[in-house]
Amino acid sequence: MTEKTRTTGVSRRTLLKSTAGLAGLAAGSGAITGFPYVMSAEPKVLRYLGTAVNEGDDISKQCLKDTGIKIEYITATTDDVTKRVMTQPNSFDVLDTEYFSLKKIVPSGNILALDSKKIKEFDNITPVFTKGETPGGKKIGGQGTAPWKVLYLEGKDSKTFSKTPTEFVTLIPTVYNADTLGIRPDLIKRPISSWSELLNPEFKGKASILNIPSIGIMDAAMVVEASGKYKYADKGNMTKEEIDLTMKVMTEAKKAGQFRAFWKDFNESVNLMASGETVIQSMWSPAVTKVRSMGIPCTFQPLKEGYRSWASGFCVSKGVSGAKLDWAYEFVNWFLSGYAGAYLNRQGYYSAVLSTAKANMEPYEWAYWMEGKPAEKDIKAPDGSLLEKAGAVRDGGSYEDRMGGVACWNAVMDENDYMVRKWNEFIAA
Amino acid sequence: MDMSEEVLHQAAPGVIPGSGTARAAKPARLSPSVISWLQAGPMMLVFVAFFLIPLVFVVIVSFWDYNEYQLLPAFSGRGYTDTFEGCIDKLPELCTIGRTYVMTLKLCFMVWAITLFIGFWVAYFLAFHVKSKTWQMGLSLLCTIPFWTSNVIRMIAWIPLLGRNGLVNSGLVKTGLVNQPLEWLLFSEFSVVLALVHLFTFFMVVPIFNSMVRIDKSLIEAAYDAGATGFQTLVNVIIPLAKPGIVIGSIFVITIVMGDFITIGVMGGQQIAAAGKIIETRVNALQFPAAAANAVILLIITFLIITMMSRIVDIKKEL
């Protein structure tokens, strides 16, 4: 499970691999040196830059088997991925990134607009991305950098997002989820139903949030709104006054000793929760699963104010052309064709093309993960380890309920610079 | 090494003219200054390429402007003005950067004082009480144990020890010393200082030990013969002669702690401000000029501290 989840930092191995890849590229690529080279002699290799969410060894092995494309993973944190796109756009071919990063990446001109006609399953991508509603027709909250706001470009070389669908796509969606608070029901011993509980003095010294400013402040805003202190026009794009107000509430809580610690990486969040240092904190779904698989009760608690959602997918580097571009399309098409989707669904994430993923899952698995039904049989992770015993029901229920309950999306604000300064002030307070 | 010494011997003593003709084949008639340049050259090149030039870039970039996705190479003091935002109009309350540095300096001072105390006595023990060279080597290698594991693992290991349900707390509760687990054992200034001391005492031990073993034992005997007490010998003989080691160790510890944000972050539960943390947050938000400005400020402050310390002891002279 750990390898399939988000981890921070570049491991020595991946760093070596990626630098070796870089050196290899500099030495061998005809695209850069301008020398012609024989296409057929080249193995099909794509350098894949991303966070660890989609980067399973199983996925790359299956991909090699099905398409002959060898995937070389370059693993980094969300922030470092963006940094790399800005500073070393030629160091990767395929980019796996989140929609909110697009507000930074697209204006930099370092990614290629993808042709939606070359994506076989494009029309089958869940309407969550294209229309902002669930397949069942539930409208999804659009605060923050919702995918449909940044999915299309106005033209092939445009740096402006199009409000209406065009054939030029920024990021082909692959995986997404709805995040909420994780709790320790055995230590809290009462129902939790609102984000405002995060700042409830009852949990003094036992609460935690993410120390990633752009995401942490959204969770904070959910709390502020839930406690009735303020109603935001757009939590994902606050004015300076709104940032001040949000940070003031959080600063008071911090000074009162509400937070045990802030966490930054997946394993930290698991440790805090499993050791009982915290009993309520913002969390990611697989982290909750991991705590549970250690035999410790942990719930990914649905809350009445809704979820904060995130979504990621594939971009292609501007430096990719010719045969390599064809491989990139082939790879993206393969990724949406079912195997990877089923794999992600089994981890508690959601796949972008539901129909193909469903075809690759057992009916009882689909019923548990996607329809919110009690598990008919034991539920296993992709690596075969036991996740839930028969009879268990997924926290938050069905896809319709969870994605339909999304209130806002991870975002980059227009006032990002101000927000980051205020966040530093908050940490220093 | 042998080669260069040979060259030195040939060239150094006045370079007798004529002796060169006897060995005309060897181009060994380099002047002493050229030789010292050659000796220092490789290190200097590394220093220039990997330290000075990048540093110049950092200073230049700190005066650039930026937007969400790129650096704008136009002169701007924004990185600095933003950093000192509110420092005047918030008075007498401290601004963010002020508070951050007060905290960083406080941690730095505590870690320095404790590592110095522990490091001094460990070095003292190694230098004066351990007679055999082998044991001295072996025991000083033991001091490196904290470095055998990775930084992250080392720090995660503190949680089962100091956490709310950790070993120390359950021990204290069981023995009835406290009724409730102590919260301040972890994610507090205490835990930060503890982790930093655990990590960096080694950097104090090595230079102090190095100074101490070079103290002429006859000086200590002389002090003893002259009727000095053990304490007088320590204060009047050993400490003054170990000063270079103390200062070098202090410089190591202070520079590392001033820039640390990983240990402070993990052990402080990310709730304790650190000068390095501000830089990291800025870099992660792709605000490179602001990060560079903060790096320059950190550099200046650290440099001031070190200048002050080298005022106390002239390291060049002592070495």
Q: What is the largest CA-CA distance in chain A?
A: 68
- Measured CA to CA in angstroms, residue A114 lies from A105, A151, A152, B83 at distances of 14, 10, 9, 40
- pLDDT tens track for A212-248: 898 999 999 999 999 999 999 999 999 999 999 999 9
Is A69:A337 a contact under the CB 8 Å cutoff?
A: no
Residues of B in contact with A275 (CB under 8 A): 159-160, 163-166
* A-B C-beta contacts closer than 8 Å: 95
Mean pLDDT across the stretch A128-150?
93
Q: Is A251 on the interface with B (CB under 8 A)?
A: no
Q: Which amino acid is at A164?
A: T
| pLDDT recorded at residue B20 | 44
Q: Is B106 left (phi over 0), alpha (psi -120 to 50) or beta?
A: alpha
Residue in A73, A97, A94 with CA at minimum distance from that of residue A14: A73
Put simply, whether A116 touches B (Cβ < 8 Å) is no
A331 touches chain B (CB under 8 A): no
Question: Is the distance from CB of A329 to CB of A69 less than 8 angstroms?
Answer: no
Are B200 and B111 a contacting pair, CB within 8 Å?
yes
Nearest in space to A331 (alpha carbons), one of A54, A29, A8: A54
Q: Which of B81, B103, B284, B297 to mutate to test the interface with A (most CBs of A within 10 A)?
A: B284
- What is the 8-class DSSP label of residue A46? E
Stated length of chain B: 319
Rounded CA gap, A55 and A128, in Å?
23
At B314 the pLDDT is 72
Whether A228 contacts A248, CB under 8 Å: no
- Alpha carbon distance B122, A241 (integer Å): 55
Residue written as token pair 């995040």: A179
Helix (H) / strand (E) containing A71: strand A70-75
Task: Work out the pLDDT band at B181, boundaries 50, 70, 90.
Answer: confident
pTM: 0.81
> What stretches of B125-268 show up as alpha helix (H) in DSSP?
133-142, 151-156, 158-162, 167-174, 189-213, 217-225, 230-233, 239-259, 262-267
Give the span between the Cα atoms of B61 and B74, in whole angstroms: 9
Rounded to a whole number, what is the distance in Å from the CA of A305 to chain B's nearest CA? Answer: 27
Q: Which of B68, B158, B298 is most worth mutating to test chain A (most A CB atoms within 10 A of its CB)?
A: B68
Which residue, A58, A165, A155, A164, is CA-closest to A113? A155
Distance from CA of B205 to the nearest CA of A (A): 30
CB contact under 8 A, A424 and B278: yes
Rg from Cα positions in chain B: 26
Whether B53 has a pLDDT exceeding 70, the answer reads: yes
Query: How much is the pLDDT for B25?
Result: 53
Torsions phi, psi for A406 (to 5 deg): -70, 130
Express each pLDDT in A49-85 by its tens digit: 998 767 888 999 999 999 999 999 998 888 889 889 9
**With DSSP H G I counted as helix, E B as strand and the rest as coil, what are the percentages for chain B, rounded to 5?**
70, 0, 25
C-alpha–C-alpha distance, residues A368 and A390, integer Å: 10
* Cα distances (Å, whole numbers) of residue B245 to A157, B240, B248, B314: 61, 10, 5, 12
pLDDT in tens, B264-308: 988 898 899 999 999 998 988 888 999 999 999 999 999 999 898
Whether pLDDT at A20 is above 90: no
The predicted structure's pLDDT at residue B27: 58
pLDDT confidence tier of residue A181, bands split at 50, 70 and 90: very high
pLDDT on residue A13: 47
Whether pLDDT at B146 is above 90: no
Distance CA A28, CA A263 (A): 41
Residue B23 predicted with pLDDT over 70: no
- Residue type at A205 in one-letter notation: G
Q: Exposed/middle/buried for B51, CB within 10 Å: 0-12, 13-18, 19+?
A: exposed
Looking at chain A, the whole-number percentage of residues with pLDDT higher than 90 is 71
- Alpha carbon separation from A367 to A133, A380, A397 (Å, rounded): 21, 13, 10
A420 touches chain B (CB under 8 A): yes
Task: Report the residue of chain A nearest B167, measured CA to CA.
Answer: A275
What is the token pair recorded at A40? 């057929």
Q: Residue A7: its pLDDT value, please?
A: 43
A262 vs B159, B186, B269: nearest CB: B269
Closest Cα in chain A, distance from residue B19 (Å): 52
| Token digits of residue B100 | 């951050």
Phi, psi of A193 (to 5 degrees): -135, 0
A3, pLDDT greater than 50: no
pLDDT at A375: 94
Contact present, B288 and B71 (Cβ < 8 Å): yes
Three-state secondary-structure class, residue A384? coil
pLDDT band of residue B317 (cuts 50, 70, 90) is low
Q: For residue A259, which phi and psi values (nearest 5 degrees)? A: -95, 135
CA distance B98 to chain A (A): 9
Please tell me the predicted confidence (pLDDT) of residue B160. 85
CB within 8 Å: B159 and A275: yes
Interval A382-426: pLDDT, tens: 888 888 889 999 999 999 999 999 999 999 999 999 999 999 899
One DSSP character per residue, B163-202 reads STTSHHHHHHHHTTS-SS--GGGSSSHHHHHHHHHHHHHH
Contact B160 A261 (CB under 8 A): no
Q: Look at residue B3 and tell me whether its pLDDT is greater than 60.
A: no
Contacts of B275 in chain A (CB under 8 A): none
Pick from A398, A379, A404, A402: which is nearest to A390 by CA?
A: A379
| N residues, chain A | 429
CA distance A70 to chain B (A): 30
Residue contact B286–A428, C-beta within 8 A:
no
Quick check: A316 and A416 in contact, CB under 8 A? no
The total of other beta-carbon atoms located within 10 Å of residue A167's CB is 16
Say which amino acid occupies B136: Q
List the beta strands (DSSP E) in A154-271: 161-162, 168-169, 172-183, 207-208
3-state secondary structure of B56: helix
**Rounded CA Rg of chain A:** 21
Which of A264, A267, A271 is opposite residue B270, by nearest beta carbon? A264
d(CA B254, CA B248): 10
Please check whether residue A372 is in contact with residue A61, taking contact to mean a CB–CB distance below 8 angstroms.
no
Residue of B249, B245, B237, B234 lying closest to B210 (CA atoms): B245
Whether A279 has a pLDDT exceeding 60, the answer reads yes
What's the pLDDT at B28? 64
Answer yes or no: is pLDDT of B22 > 90. no
Looking only at the bridges linking them, the beta strands covering A94-98 and A45-50 are parallel
